[in-house]
Structure 1
Amino acid sequence: MTHELTRTEPSTPTRQFTVLLSPTRRGARLARLLATAHLGAWGLPSVTAAHIVAELATNAFVHGRVPGRDFRLSLAVHGGGTLLRIEVTDTRGDRLPIAPHGAIARPADDAESGRGLLIVEALADRWGVIPGPVPGKVVWAEIDLVR
């Protein structure tokens, strides 16, 4: 599992889904449900991706929210079905999910939040952040579908 500040997008996707959602709890929940439905329709495993989408969408709601601006969920299958790329774009490029020296900050044992990116780190094969489009950022995660 790797974490990267920037990464170019893989080859042209063979399947793609994109939707704008409100930066609310309901929008984050809908992102997970839509991801599960689309991956199921595509015949792809959805459990790991659903967890990643849930965490990234929740972060867009909690940390990337600007009133009146939606966040975007994108799912794309690349490499003839060998790679799933998940992207969540929010409108707060000034709040990057990176701790000093590229490490993910661990919350205190009794903290009630702060574990979302630890879950993404554990489940994704790669993940990172791309600054922009201005004024936002894209947090992405990739899952290798063929092992």
Structure 2
Amino acid sequence: MTHQHLTDEAKPPLTPARQLTLRFSSTRRGARLARQLAVQQFTEWTGLPYDADPAHAVALVTAELASNAVRHGSLPGRDFRLTLLLLPNRIRVEVTDTRPDRLPPPVTPPPADETSGRGLLIVQSYADRWGRTIRDAYTKTVWAEVRLRTTGC
């Protein structure tokens, strides 16, 4: 599987078959609810079971992006936004936060004795493509695309 990290300069055309956007409080509970609702919506749209590999990937990617929005991208009293886009052969998970000045760092494995810092490695592992987009001075969106079907080994 090829993984791509894209920035603002490489915006793929989006023609979603379905789209859902929800706001969540910038709390651990908000991040947990975002993950749960993303998987629920994914399974409703695709008919795939909760325990399918793509549903698991959507859960992990959403959890990491939402957690990063809460930990690194929030301002007091500001929510984060989750957008799900059902695209041909994939789903796109977008998490928009209120800190465009805090961009995702380059993805490198942390030292073995570190207990955090692996979130974007997880996103990179489970997403076919991911990146970030800044459309205004107040928000940034980190997104990832997960294939609907996995190829067997």
TM over 0.5, yes or no?
Answer: yes
Residue in 1 that maps onto 2:51: none
Residue in 1 that maps onto 2:36: 33
Shift of 1:142: 0.7
Residue aligned with 2:122, SS: helix
- CA deviations on 1:30-89 (whole Å, 9 max, x unpaired) are 00010111111111441110100000000000000101111000111112xx12111000
C-alpha distance in structure 2 between counterparts of 1:78 and 1:2, whole Å = 17
Q: Any runs of at least 4 consecutive aligned residues in structure 1 with deviations exceeding 6 A, and if so which?
A: none
Amino acid aligned to 2:34: A
Shift of 1:4: 1.0
**Do residues 97 (structure 1) and 104 (structure 2) align?**
yes
C-alpha distance in structure 2 between counterparts of 1:115 and 1:8, whole Å = 25
- The runs of 5 or more residues in structure 2 that have no matched partner are 49-53
Residue in 2 that maps onto 1:2: 4
Query: How many aligned residue pairs are there?
Result: 141
What TM-score comes out, normalization by structure 2 length? Answer: 0.86
C-alpha distance in structure 2 between counterparts of 1:39 and 1:4, whole Å = 23
2:90 to 83, 94, 101: 83
CA-based RMSD of the aligned residues comes to: 1.4
Query: In percent, how many aligned pairs have the same letter?
Result: 51
Shift of 1:9: 4.4
Amino acid aligned to 2:87: H
